[in-house]
Chains A and B, each alone.
Chain A
Amino acid sequence: MDLVLQLLFTGIGIGAVYALVALGFVLIFRATNVVNFAQGEFSMVAAYLMVVFSVDLGWPYWLSFLLSLAGMALLGVIFNLGVYYPLRHRSFLPVIIATIGASILMANSVLAIYGPQPQVLQGWFDTPGIQLGPVYLDSQYLLIIAVTIALVIFNYWFFEHTMLGKKLQATSQDKEMASLLGISVSTMIMLTFIYSAVLGGLAGILVAPVLFVSIQMGSTIALKAFAATIIGGFGDVTGAIIGGLALGVIETFGAAYISVPYKDGFAFLVLILFLVFRPQGIFGERVAEKA
């Protein structure tokens, strides 16, 4: 039982990271109908910004955190204007390829500046964790889980109870209709990119003290987060959260009870099973072609 509880905590912790990045995927997909393959690099860039402000410049952690998120908001604007906006009237394929290009550009730019060696970023707390009976609770994972829960509540409130959230929802559901109703579609898409970049950045900053700051950290997380969005139901916010958490728990238990080297394999096995038997994901709705 002790083993199960320990694995469950770790699985939920790592799953929460996938969920945060998956949320960014979903929001951009809903707004633009394209998958942003640079979402993982948002996490990586934010973690390096934290290293710049907190480690290199020695600024207070909270200030570095706020500045890093502000930097990510700016990156969201640049990404929207430089990658999505020029291609907005094209089909989804050029936009997807552009996001892959942007992802490579971001990774190599950081590599050129910081080099290939991983960097250390301290966590929020001095205490690395607490022992609760037989289970060790890593303080950073506790924070990640708490932030994920807070974001689920925030997203619900924001999208369901604020005018801006409803405008964003309207834009994602039908851009032409939203435009006819006087909503500035381009502004809404811009805001979506900003929010997604901040969300991705938040995931990167939170996970950096656990996984260290490296060029590969974004792509590693993004691949799992992408799988999580498909499992949860592409385009569904709740699905992204549930999919991320489920993936984290499945791969942790799979590694413990079946095979460690095939840990990543479990995640993608689940993904394949969903694509075959329930392609719309857990929360997605079946889409049928009209005759």
Chain B
Amino acid sequence: MKLTRRDFAAGMAAGIVAPHIITRARAQGATVKIGMCAPVTGPAAESGGYAIKGAKLALDTVNKAGGILGKQAELIVEDDQTTNPGIVLAFSKLAAQPDIVGFIGSIRSTQVHAIAPDVLKLGKPVMIGGTDPNLTHMGNQWLFRCRPNDSYSGRVIAEYGASTLGKKKWAVLHSTDAFGTAGGKALTEALTKLGVAPVLDQGYANQSQDFTPVVLAIKQSGADVLGSYFTFENDLGIFARQLRQLGVNIPWVGSPSITDVTALKLAGPALYNTYGVADYAEDSTEASKAFANAYHDAYKVVADGQSSWTYDAINVLAQGINKAGSTEPGKIREAILAIKKFPGAEGEYNFDQNGDGLHGYNVVKNEKGSIVFDKHIEFTD
């Protein structure tokens, strides 16, 4: 057979165009794909399992309600190994698949920071759970947060302790890592705005074996309330026990780790009657209760904050794509930012232009080991 110039030109054109046609056809395939980076291995593997369960439960709900753009939604999970290099690798694997229209990122701020440049380069929506306020204030328009950020937790701890409990002599205790330092600073700033100057601002190094000097400092400061940001549950457990053993029984309002299942197990009665801020509280709203029931029915375990935010992330993303009527990233972004009064498991979503969906926290109380919802404090500024 003789190859003519016309045949050659047609062949070349087909060769150039075909991959694009195939890619577009895959992008418009039978399912709508969502990528998820989750710690399947590493220190956070247990909580990662809960996060995946929450996302899958939401996906089932979305699919039963008609799916995304009339198609069934599919979740593609990559292991982030609970490390920054791990999540960069996991995200790059997912980003290389052009038919993935949106992503679920990490609950850890440090991991979100690690993938942020790649997210910006890719230009597709990524739902995150990291609570560092900077994440949505550093010019990355593709990050959408499904948990309240730490500026709110500090304000809620201060507001609850000072206004509801009526305490003015604060001891602020925080770890000296990025999370604890930022949290302690947010709490101190919030107290200052309320006209309260802490009588003690105390940092501690993670993995401390003994908190006796800290407890004695609190005792000597004459504080009548304690606000805390603990990073690790075992530190919290050791401190709680020593606090009570050394006779300090002042009210204590802590960051979300004080309500963590592991912390409750380790500290036991030492945490009774303490207060904590929690992004997820089962009894806070009807949507939270419905999620808790559905999660328990599906997996026979109690829902927690690890699963609730991924559940919301999938639902918000699906709602955004459906409202956009397209998988074009820019349109999805606009649709997510337009979401108001969306009832999620974590609370009511009202996205601001930075990409923050939630603007308040629940306050819960430890009543003999059970976490009981007390009140929700929402901010509009």
Contact = CB atoms under 8 A, between A and B. Distances in A.
A58 interface: no
Interface stretch (A34-42, A165-173, A213-221, A232-240): A213-221
A115 B42 CA distance: 9
B208 A210 contact: no
Contacts of A211: 209, 234, 238
B12 interface: no
Given A6-B212, A7-B213, A136-B245, A260 B203 contact: yes
Contact of B247 (A10, A136, A252, A262): A136
Given A118-B266, A136-B245, A260-B217, A252 B212 contact: yes
Contact of B245 (A120, A129, A260): A129
Contact of A260 (B43, B207, B214, B247): B214
Interface in A13-63: 14
Contacts of A221: 209
Contacts of A264: 205
A135 B241 CA distance: 16
B262 interface: yes
Contacts of B217: 256, 260
Interface residues of A, number: 29
B46 interface: yes
B25 interface: no
B45 interface: yes
Given A3-B216, A260-B203, A212 B238 contact: yes
B234 A118 contact: yes
B35 interface: no
B210 A252 contact: yes
A214 B46 contact: no
A214 B213 CA distance: 23
A249 to B, nearest CB: 12
A278 interface: no
Interface string B232-249: 011001100100011100
A261 B202 CA distance: 8
B238 A7 contact: no
Contact of A10 (B42, B176, B212): B212
B209 A261 contact: no
Contacts, number: 76
Nearest to B216: A3
Nearest to B261: A117
Given A128-B245, A212-B266, A260-B203, A118 B209 contact: no
Interface string B159-191: 000000000000000001000000000000000
Contacts of A261: 176, 203-205
B257 to A, nearest CB: 13
Contact of B246 (A6, A260, A263): A6
B44 interface: yes
B43 A120 contact: no
B137 interface: no
Interface residues of B, number: 32
Contacts of B42: 116
Nearest to A251: B210
Contacts of A115: 45-46
A288 B262 CA distance: 53
Contact of B213 (A120, A129, A210, A252): A252
Contacts of B220: 3
Given A129-B245, A220-B207, A221-B209, A116 B46 contact: yes
Contacts of B45: 115-116
B209 A120 contact: no
B118 to A, nearest CB: 27
B202 to A, nearest CB: 6
Contact of A255 (B207, B213, B247): B213
B265 A263 contact: no
Contacts of B205: 260-264
Interface string B189-230: 000000000000011110111101110110010000000000
Contacts of B268: 120
Contacts of A116: 42-46
Interface string A113-136: 001111010000000110000001
Interface in B244-261: 245-247
Interface in A197-254: 210-212, 214, 216, 220-221, 252
A136 B210 contact: no
A120 B266 contact: yes
Contacts of A118: 233-234, 237, 262, 266
A135 to B, nearest CB: 10
A263 B266 contact: no
Contacts of B265: 120
Q: Which of A118, A129, A138 has the most CB of B within 10 A?
A: A118
Contacts of A210: 209, 238
Given A118-B233, A118-B234, A7 B46 contact: no
A39 to B, nearest CB: 17
A216 B45 CA distance: 16
Interface in B7-50: 42-46
Q: Which of A116, A220, A256 has the most CB of B within 10 A?
A: A116
A216 B207 contact: yes
A16 to B, nearest CB: 12
Contact of A263 (B43, B208, B216): B208
A221 B210 CA distance: 12
A118 B214 CA distance: 22
Interface of B: 42-46, 176, 202-205, 207-210, 212-214, 216-217, 220, 233-234, 237-238, 241, 245-247, 262, 265-266, 268
18 contacts: A7-B212, A7-B216, A14-B210, A116-B43, A116-B45, A117-B46, A118-B234, A118-B266, A120-B266, A129-B245, A210-B209, A212-B234, A256-B217, A260-B202, A260-B203, A260-B213, A260-B214, A261-B203
Given A211-B238, A255-B214, A256-B217, 16 more contacts: A6-B216, A10-B210, A14-B210, A115-B45, A116-B43, A118-B262, A120-B265, A128-B241, A129-B245, A136-B245, A138-B245, A211-B234, A212-B234, A221-B209, A262-B205, A263-B204
